[in-house]
Amino acid sequence: MLTLLNLLKDGRFHSGQDLGVALGISRSAVWKQLQQLEAELGLSIHKVRGRGYQLSTPLTLLDPLEITRKMPQWPVRVFDSVDSTNAEALRSISDGAAAPFLVLAERQLAGRGRRGRKWVSPFAENLYYSLVLRIEGGMRQLEGLSLVVGLAVMQALRNTGVPNAGLKWPNDVLVGNKKIAGILLELVGDPADVCHVVLGIGINVNMQVADEVDQQWTSIKLESGKACDRNALVVELSNQLKTYIHKHQLNGFASLQAEWAENHLWQGRSVSLIAGNSRIDGIVLGIDNQGGLRLIVDGVEKAFSGGELSLRLRDDS
């Protein structure tokens, strides 16, 4: 089926006879595979008598050889379909794969965001990216790391046609109030000694319609007005991650604290911090040198950190 998709990805018309010859199957078998493509991958295929079949939108599939040629620092694994790239990365760690390495997928069947939320993952439209790193020296090496990843994602987006991309504590990248990217870090191993961290990143790239998303969102294509080459985005994001992670390893999060705060879109805003069933209202002061959120709550400054916290704008902000 994916061989057929590779023949159609240029967005041009291809006759059923030519497709059958290329695949070594009958025209009726071609028709069945086309129906599978539409049903399983959610693709739209135009069928015109006398001309053949055409994808409604051309596709550029992820190419591990092209990515590796331009970004040789990390081994790359590309999957047509996985439950989630983070889950695949964690399985690879369990199987003894040597870090660092990168896991990419054309689609996720069970993509995950923070706090167990579903991450909508249509085929070949967005970027589903998980980088595995080996961490030595305990938890101190992880202080503020999710915020550092946010800086790298933001810079990659700005360099790819989204100049207004900014940050929302702790793990989102926004354009205005619309989400364009999210980050999910997962840890396995001994946090006091040697462990592995999976840097999971989801970026809305060429997606234009997504009825399942339950919040305001946007994509690179919607913001820039043109399709984005996801292979080039993988290379750009990887280079930004390499740069920012190196700075973090050398000098800790404190060296990047000011840059992160300058790009926090909700600086000075009235917000609600949600933790389970509890809610804390305050005004954003900034972040501390460990990446925790600083709020003014009832006139008193307080700091908050933790993976299960969620920040929302208050109605009066």
What is the residue extent of each domain of the chain? 2-55, 64-261, 266-313
CA-CA distance, 221 to 227, in Å (whole number)? 5
Could you report the per-residue pLDDT of 68-120, keeping only the tens digit for each? 999 999 999 999 999 999 999 999 999 999 999 999 999 999 876 555 566 67
* Confidence tier at 160 by pLDDT (50, 70, 90): very high
Q: What is the pLDDT of residue 36?
A: 85
Q: Is residue 34 within 8 Å of residue 53, measured between CB atoms?
A: yes
Q: How many CB atoms lie within 10 A of CB 133?
A: 19
Q: Classify domain 266-313 by CATH architecture.
A: Roll (2.30)
Binding-site residues for biotin, please? 84-86, 108, 112-114, 179
Tokens of 276: 């389970």
Q: Is residue 264 within 8 Å of residue 286, measured between CB atoms?
A: yes
**64-261: CATH topology:** BirA Bifunctional Protein; domain 2 (3.30.930)
- Residues marked as catalytic: 114, 179, 312
What DSSP state is assigned to residue 292? P
Pairing of strands 101-105, 194-203: unpaired
Question: Which spans in 189-280 are helix H?
Answer: 220-224, 230-251, 257-262
* Confidence tier at 316 by pLDDT (50, 70, 90): low
pLDDT average, residue stretch 44-61: 87
| Nearest residue to 104 via CA among 228, 203, 225 | 203
Q: What is the pLDDT of residue 59?
A: 83
Query: What does the buried/exposed string (b/e) look like for 101-119 if buried means 16 or more CB atoms within 10 Å of the residue's CB?
Result: bbbbbbbbeebbbbeeeeb
Tell whether omega for the bond before 100 is within 30 degrees of 0, i.e. cis: yes
Q: What is the pLDDT of residue 249?
A: 92
Could you report the per-residue pLDDT of 257-294, keeping only the tens digit for each? 999 999 999 999 999 999 888 899 999 999 999 999 99
Percentage of residues in the chain with pLDDT exceeding 90? 65
Binding-site residues, please? 84-86, 108, 112-114, 179
Q: Is residue 166 within 8 Å of residue 175, measured between CB atoms?
A: yes
CA-CA distance, 153 to 182, in Å (whole number)? 9
CA-CA distance, 229 to 159, in Å (whole number)? 13
Q: Is residue 132 within 8 Å of residue 103, measured between CB atoms?
A: yes
Tokens of 88: 């695949």
Tokens of 117: 């939320």
Q: What is the mean pLDDT of the chain?
A: 90
Question: What CATH class is the domain 2-55?
Answer: mainly alpha
Q: Answer yes or no: is pLDDT of 140 > 80.
A: no
Q: Is residue 170 within 8 Å of residue 146, measured between CB atoms?
A: yes
Q: How many CB atoms lie within 10 A of CB 162?
A: 24
Q: pTM for the full model?
A: 0.89
